[in-house]
Amino acid sequence: VSLEVPCPNCGQRPYTEFTFGGELRDLRSDDAEADYRRVYLRNNVAGEQTERWFHAFGCRRWLTIRRDTVTNVFHEPGSGIDPVRG
Amino acid sequence: VASIRFEGRSVQLRSDDTVAAALFRGGVRTFTRSIKHHRPRGLYCLTGDCANCLVNVDGTPAVRSCVTLAEDGMRVRREGGWPSTERDLLAVADRLHPVMPVGFYHKTFIRPRIAWPLAERVIRRATGIGTLPTGRTPGRKPARTAHTDVLVIGAGPAGLAAAGAAAEDGASVLLCDEARIGERLPPGPALERVRALREEVSPNTGITLLERHMAVGVYEGPFVPLVGEREVVHVYPGRVIVATGAVETHPVFAGNDRPGVWLGRGAVRMVAGHGVPIGDRVVVVAGTSEGVDHLRALVDAGANVVAAVIPPGSEPPPRTPLLAADARVASVLGRRGVGSVVLETATGERRIACDALVVSIGTTPRDGLLRMATGLPVVGAGEVVSPGCSLDEAVESGASAAAGSDVAGAAAEAPPRGSAGYVCVCEDVTVHDLETAWREGWRSAEILKRYTTATMGACQGALCARHLASLAERGVSASSRSNGALTTARPPARPVPLEDLAAGVFEVVEKRSALHDRHLAAGGRIDRSGSWMRPYTYGDVSDEYRAVRERVSVMDVGTLGKFLIGGRDAATLVERMFPCNVADLAPMRTRYLLALDEAGYVMDDGLVCALGDGRYYVTSTSGGAEQMDAWLRNWIDRYGLHAHVIDQTAMLGAINVAGPRSRELLERLSDANLGATALPPMGAADVTVAGIRCRALRVGFVGELSFELHHPRGRSAELWDALIGSGGDLGIRPHGLDALDVLRLEKGHVYLGQDTLPDDHPGKLGLSWAVDMTKPDFIGRTSLERMAAFPLERRLAGLTFDSPPQRGAPLLVGDRVVGRITSCASSPALGAPIGLGWIRAVDGAFPTEMRAGTVTATVVATPFYDPKGERQRA
């Protein structure tokens, strides 16, 4: 236990209550090549990324949130990220 | 009188005795045997930093006896050494030291390879610091979580000042210390200062005090677990102030590890604090003003100091024979303990007979916690950043740390180098070993550490990390003030029992179905299946099998994932998420459902039933229920649909009634029309059975006429009893997972996870029929299209064998492995062993006959049993 995820419904909660959903990806792609990249390749950024977390042992809601993967600093939930399109 | 049991004798206690003090008063001098050379080791630091005093207390190994308060009735014994710690024949290892060079294992046990298992057994028995307790239930400490603005670790002068200042600024403060405040300080100005500061610390100032709570480590977050005697506290602080002080510098000279050599604080604590003399003739070597204080305290307490070295200009206590100020210890001689000390001065050597040597030549930061906190809001205060600072300076440093400034003190001075002796006492690494390693080319602190294991012992480098850094820096820099070569510190900072690390996580999920008690009463052998406890058999697997095939049987399938999907967009959600066609699914009809991920790989399977009112009822495997729930919710969210999901897994029970006479049984308990026209295969109906509302699904895994009855969980037992009670004359009996495994295998049904791999698309599993590629879009569709362009190089196949094979066995063609058996059983219906397994295409074609050991495997079409499915459709 070393991370706390700011859940918009439940507040600061230990990450062990969550399932990590990975970086936010597009829902669809324009062509086969882009789709291949969308499905199989990850950006794996060192820095800020938008990602999905599922509060499995809490409100059972998904949240879309920005986190700095280097410092593990989360940005406040509801920081203007559209959960549908990112 | 209170006493402890020590190796068969009784040792009396005085108040405030630690285990170490009681044993020392009782005459114990050798507390441990060193890990490799079996050298006797005695009390040394008495501050909980070194590993010399580890004993077994009440069955727990490696307890730091110098900081463990003795309690009446404790059972204490030493560990290590054979036949005993006191008289250890393995000490011959010490004489073998010259032929056991550093890196001994790497160099010696290379060949013959078969010798290693034997050597390992011998070595393991001869080394180690204790025996793990067996047959004992580990303690179950509760864990709690604490949030605070500021966490201060260490309640000495700097820590108390930091806590006070932070609280004054309005921050919430948690102050912890591994001891009680002042407990380990000898009488003197430091203790008085701490007591005065202590007065200011109370809960109503916004400071929560946790004494005897040890910080295990600083993790990112920051997150700091504190181990207390009766609890573990998981602290999430906004920032951390580390005020863990300093440990006295470990002097390195020949014989520096002998019992009778003491660090100054330890000696004073024993003599002045516990009132036990450490020897008849004591030599004190002081290099700092703190050392002179120790000398004075020892003389005041009545120690017979026969010689002392003090820094120039300091004032010695009266009647103390002084030696030249530049004298340094060259070596300690003696058979078991200290017999004499050889001091080296500019004018020559001098040997002084004595039985105790006290060395106090400086301080080394106790900064393990600080060094593991790179990049986190963690600062140090007091001696941990400015070793040797005055009390006023420590208090001031605490206050400025509270104000947020990163108190960078003077870098710790490198400890004086010795030409012989033990650098790392815990791991038996000498100056000679490190020099050998250096010559062999291991020329950085991190690599020297891994090669020699210096700093890797129980003290975690508290004594030796800076010695190692200093040695590693030679040739790199002439500076003696740099900490650049310090190795990375990692948690835990102190030895922690595994049971403390597990505190709060001992609750193992063990789900029970509503019928658990019925299974027990029926003699079911219940065991884990994923997170569920499920019956594997009720005693006679083959009759359970026959009941399904020939008569009627029931199975508890309440563990299946069960989801109700509703809302305006429910149909859109199901259609877009799953590869089967849902749009043309008539009301109260079910369809087999695969859940694919975006890569087109099979995640789970189940059923979807259209309820006819715009809602859908979806089931998943028992193990996949939680994932399915998250998966459904994810796509509602991502697609932005007006749909919602109710996880009914826990609120509904389900019983599968299977067998040729299952309809007959149900008709006895229900007025509903369960005929093949009213309730056809893959049909569903809301019916009343034995007075209980059920959703009956004509689906099944076992290949016989069967009805899954989904019903309110609270009435499961009632329904179960009614079914069993009415089926007596039909030969009903329940079946468990063992019979199910044979039944489903005869139908060629896969167990996801057992028969499948993470990258299986439906085609590889022979499940393409469950995918409607005419649908314009569903999750995984584009990936399936892409993969369809490639030839199938691996597929799951039905297999028959000429004799029973082993599950998991590789399948071979010639010498080439072309597959693996994932499931196998002896099929009563076929009277032969059957199975499922992976096969790989060889030169573009799948093999039809393979070998698994001595067994011949032949590829056949599935299902093995009733290939046309006539029985199921009855």
B283-324, pLDDT tens digit by residue?
Answer: 999 999 999 999 999 999 999 999 999 999 899 898 899 988
pTM (2 d.p.): 0.74
A1: pLDDT strictly greater than 90 = no
Please indicate whether, in this complex, the C-beta atoms of B786 and A35 are within 8 angstroms of each other.
Answer: yes
Contact B284, B271 (CB under 8 A): no
- Taking the C-alpha atoms of residue B242 and residue B414, their distance in angstroms, rounded to an integer, is 21
The pLDDT confidence band at residue B406, using thresholds 50, 70 and 90, is low
Count Cβ neighbours within 10 Å for each residue of B755-769 and write b for 16 or more, e otherwise: bbeeebbbebbbbee
Nearest-CA distance B416 → chain A (Å): 38
pLDDT at residue B560 in the model: 97
pLDDT 10s digits, B130-139: 888 777 776 6
Q: Answer whether B39's CB lies under 8 Å from B33's CB.
A: yes
Rounded to a whole number of angstroms, the distance from the CA of A39 to the nearest CA of chain B is 6
Residues counted in chain A: 86
Q: Which residue of B has its CA nearest to A34?
A: B782
Measured CA distances, B639 to A64, B453, B688, B757, B778 (Å): 13, 55, 38, 28, 12
B7: left (phi over 0), alpha (psi -120 to 50) or beta: left
Assigned token pair, B713? 């969980």
Residues of chain A found within 8 Å of residue B599, distances taken between Cβ atoms: 39-40
Other C-beta atoms closer than 10 Å to the C-beta of B841 total 14
Say what the pLDDT of residue B505 is.
67
Residue B534's nearest CA partner among B511, B509, B553 is B511
Residue B266 has pLDDT above 50, yes or no: yes
Interface probe, candidates A12, A62, A64, chain B, greatest B C-beta count within 10 A: A62
Kindly report the three-state secondary structure assignment for every residue of B449-501: HHHHCCCCCCCCCCCCHHHHHHHHHCCCCCCCCCCCCCCCCCCCCCCCCHHHH
The yes-or-no verdict on residue B763 having pLDDT over 60 is yes
**Chain A interface, best mutation among B240, B627, B637, B645, by max A CB count within 10 A:** B637
Q: What tens digit of pLDDT does each residue of B329-339 get?
A: 999 999 889 99
Residues of B with CB under 8 A from a CB of A: 145, 147, 219-221, 223, 225, 234, 236, 375, 598-599, 626, 629-630, 633-634, 637-640, 647, 782-783, 786
Provide the shortest C-alpha distance from residue A84 to chain B (in Å): 5
Residue B95 has pLDDT above 90, yes or no: no
Residue A2: what pLDDT? Answer: 66
Kindly state the helix (H) or strand (E) to which residue B518 belongs, with its residue range.
Answer: helix B516-521
pLDDT digits (tens, 9 = 90+) for B677-711: 999 999 999 999 999 999 999 998 999 999 999 99
Segment B254-259 shows an average pLDDT of 95
Percent of chain B with pLDDT over 90: 73
Cross-chain Cβ contact A54/B634 below 8 Å: yes
Q: Give Cβ neighbours of residue B703 (< 8 Å, ≥ 6 apart).
A: B743, B744, B746, B747, B863, B865, B866, B869, B871, B872
pLDDT score of B97: 76
B226 forms bridges with which residues in the sheet?
A: B215, B233
Average pLDDT, chain A: 84
Interchain CB distance below 8 Å, B219 and A19: no
Tell me: pLDDT of A86 over 50: no
Closest-CA residue of chain A to B377:
A71
Which chain A residues touch B223 with a CB distance below 8 Å?
1-3
In this prediction, residue B703 carries a pLDDT of 94
- The number of C-beta contacts closer than 8 angstroms across A and B is 63
Work out the minimum CA distance from B705 to partner chain A, whole angstroms.
Answer: 38
Q: Find the largest Cα–Cα distance for chain B.
A: 114
B816-B820-B826 Cα angle (round to 5)? 125
Whether residue B277 contacts residue B293, with contact meaning beta carbons closer than 8 Å, is answered with: no
Measured CA to CA, the distance from residue B372 to residue B461 in angstroms comes to 13
Chain B partners within 8 Å of A51 (Cβ): none
Q: Residue B638 and residue A27: Cβ atoms within 8 Å?
A: yes
Which tens digits make up the pLDDT trace of A41-83?
999 999 999 999 999 999 999 998 999 998 888 886 654 455 5
Asked whether the predicted pLDDT for residue B64 surpasses 50, the reply is yes
Contact across the interface for A83 and B637, Cβ inside 8 Å: yes
Q: What is the mean pLDDT of the segment spanning B645-653?
A: 96
Q: Which residues of A touch B783 (CB under 8 A)?
A: 35, 39
Helix B445-452 with B431-439: angle, nearest 10 deg = 120
